[in-house]
Amino acid sequence: MAQNAHKTRITATVDFAADGKQVGHLSVPHSRNTSAWGALELPVAVIANGTGPTVVFIGGNHGDEYEGPIALVKLTAALDAGEVTGRVIVLPALNLPAFRSGTRLSPIDGLNMNRIFPGAHDGTLTSAIAHYVSSEILPLADVVVDIHSGGKTLDFVPSAIIHNLPDPAQMDQCLGALKAFGAPVGLILTELDSEGMLDTTVERMGKTFLSTELGGGGTARVETVAIAERGVRNVLKHFGVLVGAADVPTPARLMETPEGAFVSAGDGGLYEPVKDLGETVAAGEAIGRIHFVETLERAPLIHTAQVDGLILCRGVPGLVEKGDCLVVVARDRT
């Protein structure tokens, strides 16, 4: 990609090549009305010791998803370089402006970090951060784990996620990471819109990539934080960066999203769920109704599942707009 041939404007206070434990920041130039020569200081940690794989953990790719940032600040505080073989790079709040405002997108340039990869060195703030990750961090990585949750508008049965990849060896590596993470569901997801994602960028580099959807609703739960904390350590154990076997209480239920998995609102209105998160549905069965409170003569719009399966994801807001995701129905992997 020609734009990636250009050097980043972002500098780091940590040395990614040095052994030991370092915490610091990436300095992203951010000249603005309130600070002419200001910079955004994006937190980063490097914990390295000897020769071994490099695992990159990312949280806060979207600013309203909290299991990643919580698990990653705790992992950073707890890890000693001496217990690591290889290198752990932690970016707990990748879209820091979005994290600060508790929103999915950056309030500075309105961009979705996970739709702007690989980014541009001369792009706006979000794009420049994505470009730094693509050009400076990903080349160091063997494994990338990007911890997502549903944010304020979606809620998930806690899932570790990979994609179908054409290279069987790469797919095996990703599947191994997914199983080791230890989430209740292991989803092989077909994305609605994969262009511009960190996921796609890492996968195209031939590296091992794991994502998650660990809950949502704009908050964290005791259960989902525990899954995230166990999961990041499990991945490190699986790849030999930490000693010991991955702690997987129950093997992941492997699932996939067939065509028709996504059910979207046919009109704007008040959503009444008929099936809740984690419930089983059959194709043709009602999953919810949209009511038109201001038009009492209008009958509710009934939405049905298109496929048999489990409600893996549900929309959170009570008021929906036409086109909003109501549910995602996943089925057991065949």
Q: Residues in the site for Zn ion, rule: CB under 5 A?
A: 62, 65, 148
- Spatial separation of the C-alpha atoms in residues 232 and 248, rounded to whole Å: 12
Nearer to Zn ion, 44 or 214 (CB): 214
What is the sign of the dihedral through the CA atoms of 246, 200, 173 and 163? positive
Nearer to Zn ion, 65 or 199 (CB): 65
Integer-rounded Cα Rg, in Å, for the chain is 20
Give me the least distance between CB of 65 and Zn ion, in Å please.
5
Q: Which residue has the tokens 């600060």?
A: 100
Give me the least distance between CB of 84 and Zn ion, in Å please.
27
Give me the least distance between CB of 181 and Zn ion, in Å please.
16
Give me the least distance between CB of 154 and Zn ion, in Å please.
9
Nearer to Zn ion, 62 or 87 (CB): 62
- Spatial separation of the C-alpha atoms in residues 143 and 17, rounded to whole Å: 17
Parallel, antiparallel, or unpaired: how do β-strands 319-320 and 269-273 relate? Answer: antiparallel
Torsion of CA 169, 173, 178, 179, to 10 degrees: 90
Give me the least distance between CB of 239 and Zn ion, in Å please.
23
- Tokens standing for residue 38: 């200001």
- Spatial separation of the C-alpha atoms in residues 10 and 94, rounded to whole Å: 13
Nearer to Zn ion, 83 or 191 (CB): 191
Nearer to Zn ion, 65 or 203 (CB): 65
